[in-house]
Amino acid sequence: MMAIYLYLSPTLPDTEELKNVELQTPLRVYSADGKLISEFGEKRRTPLTYAETPPEFINALLASEDDGFFEHFGIDLKGLARAVIELIRTGKKKSGGSTITMQVAKNYYLSAEKTFARKFTEILLALKIEQSLSKQEILELYINKIYLGKRAYGIEAAAQVYYGKSIKELNLAQLAMIAGLPQAPSAANPVNNPRRALDRRNYVLARMRTLEMISAEEFDIAARAPITARYHGATSEVLAPYIAEMVRRDMVERYGDDAYTVGYNVYTTIDSSRQVAANKALQAGLLKYDRDHGYRQPKPMAPVTTLEVAENPELEPWLSKADKAHDIDWPQTLEQWHDLLRAQDDMGLIAPAIVLTVESTGAWIFQNNSERWLPFSGMLWAKPYVNVNIIGAEPKQPSDLLSIGQRIWVEETSNGLLLAQMPEVEGSIVSLRPKDGAIQALVGGFSFGSNKFNRAIQADRQPGSAFKPFIYSAALANGFTPASIINDAPVVFEDASLENTWRPQNNSGKFYGPTRLREALYKSQNLVSIRILKQVGASKAVNYIEPFGFPRSKLNADLSLALGASAVTPMELATGYCVLANGGFAVDPYLISRIEDSSGNILFAAKPRTVCLECEKQQSSIAQEQQAASELLEQQLQQQLGLSNPLQAQTEAEQLPAAPRVMDERTHFLMISMLKDVVRRGTGRRALALNRDDLAGKTGTTNDQKDAWFSGFSPDLVTTVWIGFDQPNTLGRWAFGSNTALPVWVDYMGSALNGVPEQPFEQPEGIVSVRIDPETGLLAAPGQSNAIFEYFKEEDVPSQPVKLSLPDNNDGSSNTDLVPEQLF
């Protein structure tokens, strides 16, 4: 023995390292309010301290693995002797006689090979570990390292995997079940082999009773308890798979494969309640569109086992449907169906089911291992799809739609179950905090499980009229006013680079003649947008719009820019709208707020460009002082170097960079005023349902109704909704941003702004309100009955009043409208 020790001792590792060992822990992603979104990593693990471990579990573990743990010095001499005697008598190694300390030595340092050399090394290591660590520290290492099946490493991960709870929430039977897993975690866990797992659990309970760790009554209750374990995937408190994937990619770029194992905790900017609202709003909107366009009547069938086929498989081809329906082996069939439904990914508002029987007033369906009633009233919408503009007749009876064994989707409503289907149409929601670009909610499609393409950040689509506010902003910054008159009349463009002559039209196909700029925006008149862009100049407009957050490479420097023909992502459009919502400042969207290591140390903290009105005021004050008295310049610079630096609106601890202004505050106010009219009286009127006075936005519909948009905001939240097909195709002749995307926006914003007080957009200095003539945009005449109020920059107020119609002159001429219209 001494010779073996002398031979192996130099090769033994330093057991002091165990005190600082880092267990492989998965990457976890959280919302801003600390709710788990997702975790990534091959090994699911949540380390616990000894003090956090329930004493009942410690007892169960010791009873099953090493009841003399607190008495021995690392090895169990009796156990080893028993193993040696068994080996000599049978020639086989039936038990290793390993203590928990020896298993720690093996798990942390050694391979799983079964050789005498490894066993001796394990024994020597166990002795060294006992000298270096306390019994509690050794147990702590064991319970966090041990593999317990289903990718679960450690007892806390096992509790989550098999019961969906913390180890601290489990009862005695459940604790004994986990304590019995180390012997055969893959072959005898309660998911893979419930019968064997039950036997092992009851063995653990019996050992606890023998050792008087539990009473006879506790043993009886626990031993009779049914198996309640089932597989629980990664526990998610907030369904946000597109967000989780965005974070995963970012973390892999930062840290490589270590991102999955080092135990990083990533806290995002996501507001969990807003994310839940966005999920529901988008799915509800897509499902409604899908119902409105008919039922595609999918006919996928679940496997049905008949009694005849079970006994004579060769009869399968000869049995009719009626034969099979009357002789179904229901226990075996339902077991198959249950497994089939459990394997289906979570689809949010709709859930899978299988038809059991079809009756005249509805159908019984199989779902969640039970029978449920689907009434015929929940199927009446399912008129057959003919094409995007036509649907067929209403079904007359349930059998027109359903048959036994058919796999279907159903939606839970307040009126009972509703037949559903996976929509072919797609969409996205992006919701940003305008003061700094923090992503509050994001949904990249109907279901991440069915399609992982993130339309919110990956889909370049034409925004149509939802882009017009940026064209109008450029116009207001270059001499136009909300009262400027532009002729909404036919226009033809001929270009050698175009195959055909371009004749743009309004969506309505009508022309409205001379129109005020404000009115043209809320009516979404295309020809007015083209004329004002031609007047401003496409290149000049691009230069103005790019700082809002649009990649210059995506902006067409031609007149098609006026109609939103430059494809952008929903995220890019929402970023541009942040400028409109926050007072005219450019911000960058961001998702990760901070990254922590497994010990809670902050490795990264976001410092986004943030709107700071106080900074701007103080900067303006500095500029005025510098112009007024040059001798104050040095003093001001010295102040900037100190803690009272006026260029920093944040506290010294925060030190957030100020967002740059890209839109003059007066131009911004005029634009907001016009966009609020889109909601009050234009294409965005559905938003009035929210009963708020601080909402503004713009609808968008592209050619042939291939894309439907609504981008809108309050001072606290910007949200963009896009709906369309992945392969661009018409949504139908009646689909527009106002009736397809806007209802989704209203649904979401109603929840997202619940409890958020209204915040008016403040009128800056240098803006005045005057009465004008609605036909000409000139100052109203005294006493004019149809005059309206309009906002102007002080220097842009019309200088002349309108000249009202007068009686004919003696020469037959008229003095009507002597001031010419502004026609562009």
Number of domains the chain contains: 5
Considering the domain architecture, whether residues 582 and 723 belong to the same structural domain is answered as yes
Query: How far lies 713's CA from each of 475, 576, 719, 722, in Å?
Result: 21, 11, 6, 15
CA distance 42 to 17: 24
- Which domain-ending residue is among 197, 224, 251? 224
> Strand, coil or helix: what is 658?
strand
For residue 131, the enclosing domain spans 45-224
Q: Is 65 a catalytic residue?
A: yes
CA distance 193 to 688: 58
CA distance 119 to 79: 13
pLDDT value at residue 657: 93
CA-derived radius of gyration, the chain: 36
Report the 10 Å Cβ neighbour count for 174: 24
pLDDT value at residue 596: 96
Q: Please give the structure tokens belonging to residue 263.
A: 């135990």
Given the residues 39, 56, 65, 546, select the one marked as catalytic. 65
Considering the domain architecture, whether residues 322 and 389 belong to the same structural domain is answered as yes
Considering the domain architecture, whether residues 73 and 193 belong to the same structural domain is answered as yes
Burial bucket for residue 385 (CB in 10 Å: 0-12, 13-18, 19+): middle
> H or E element: which one contains 659?
none
pLDDT value at residue 62: 92
Q: Is 790 a catalytic residue?
A: no
Considering the domain architecture, whether residues 575 and 674 belong to the same structural domain is answered as yes
Q: CB-side exposure of 435: number of CA atoms within 13 Å?
A: 8
> Amino acid letter at 541?
A
Given the residues 98, 465, 593, 673, select the one marked as catalytic. 465
Considering the domain architecture, whether residues 126 and 198 belong to the same structural domain is answered as yes
Given a contact cutoff of 8 angstroms between Cβ atoms, the answer to whether 587 and 436 are in contact is: yes
Helices 570-582 and 468-476, axial angle in degrees (round to 10): 40
pLDDT value at residue 187: 82
pLDDT value at residue 646: 39
Residue 194 in any domain: the answer is: yes
pLDDT value at residue 500: 62
Q: What is the distance between the terminal CA atoms of the chain, rounded to a whole angstrom? A: 103
Considering the domain architecture, whether residues 549 and 693 belong to the same structural domain is answered as yes
Cross-strand pairs, 367: 370
Residue 101, phi then psi, degrees to nearest 5: -65, -40
Considering the domain architecture, whether residues 199 and 77 belong to the same structural domain is answered as yes
CATH classification of the domain holding 369: 2.40.50.140
DSSP per residue over 266-333, as a string? EEES--HHHHHHHHHHHHHHHHHHHHHT-B-----B----BHHHHH-GGGGGG--HHHHHHTB-HHHH
pLDDT value at residue 329: 80
Considering the domain architecture, whether residues 772 and 817 belong to the same structural domain is answered as yes
Q: Are strands 407-413 and 513-516 parallel, antiparallel or unpaired?
A: unpaired
Note the residue count of the chain.
824
CATH classification of the domain holding 691: 3.40.710.10
- Which domain-ending residue is among 727, 742, 777? 727
Given a contact cutoff of 8 angstroms between Cβ atoms, the answer to whether 145 and 152 are in contact is: no
Residue 427 in any domain: the answer is: no
DSSP label at residue 316: G
Return averaged pLDDT per consecutive 10 residues of the chain, 824 residues in all.
Answer: 46 52 78 93 76 93 88 71 58 62 69 54 75 85 85 86 91 94 87 90 94 94 91 80 96 92 94 98 97 88 71 51 59 85 85 94 92 96 95 95 94 93 96 98 94 95 97 97 90 60 67 90 92 95 97 94 95 98 97 93 96 74 52 47 39 72 97 97 96 96 95 98 96 95 98 95 94 93 92 94 63 42 38
Given a contact cutoff of 8 angstroms between Cβ atoms, the answer to whether 352 and 344 are in contact is: yes
Report the 10 Å Cβ neighbour count for 601: 8
Using CA of residue 447, residue 452, residue 456, residue 461, what is the dihedral sign?
negative
Q: Please give the structure tokens belonging to residue 501.
A: 């002559």
Q: CB-side exposure of 318: number of CA atoms within 13 Å?
A: 6
CA distance 178 to 756: 47
Residue 251 in any domain: the answer is: no
Given a contact cutoff of 8 angstroms between Cβ atoms, the answer to whether 557 and 540 are in contact is: no
Residue 748 in any domain: the answer is: no
Considering the domain architecture, whether residues 200 and 315 belong to the same structural domain is answered as no
Cross-strand pairs, 441: 431
Residue 749 in any domain: the answer is: no
Residue 121 in any domain: the answer is: yes
Considering the domain architecture, whether residues 342 and 385 belong to the same structural domain is answered as yes
> Strand, coil or helix: what is 416?
strand
Residue 354, phi then psi, degrees to nearest 5: -130, 135
Given a contact cutoff of 8 angstroms between Cβ atoms, the answer to whether 595 and 608 are in contact is: no
Residue with token string 């806390």: 156
pLDDT value at residue 124: 72
Burial bucket for residue 95 (CB in 10 Å: 0-12, 13-18, 19+): exposed
> H or E element: which one contains 389?
none
Considering the domain architecture, whether residues 506 and 577 belong to the same structural domain is answered as yes
Given a contact cutoff of 8 angstroms between Cβ atoms, the answer to whether 503 and 523 are in contact is: no
Considering the domain architecture, whether residues 79 and 101 belong to the same structural domain is answered as yes
Residue 593 in any domain: the answer is: no
> Strand, coil or helix: what is 391?
strand
Residue 446 in any domain: the answer is: no
- Which domain-ending residue is among 625, 658, 691? 658
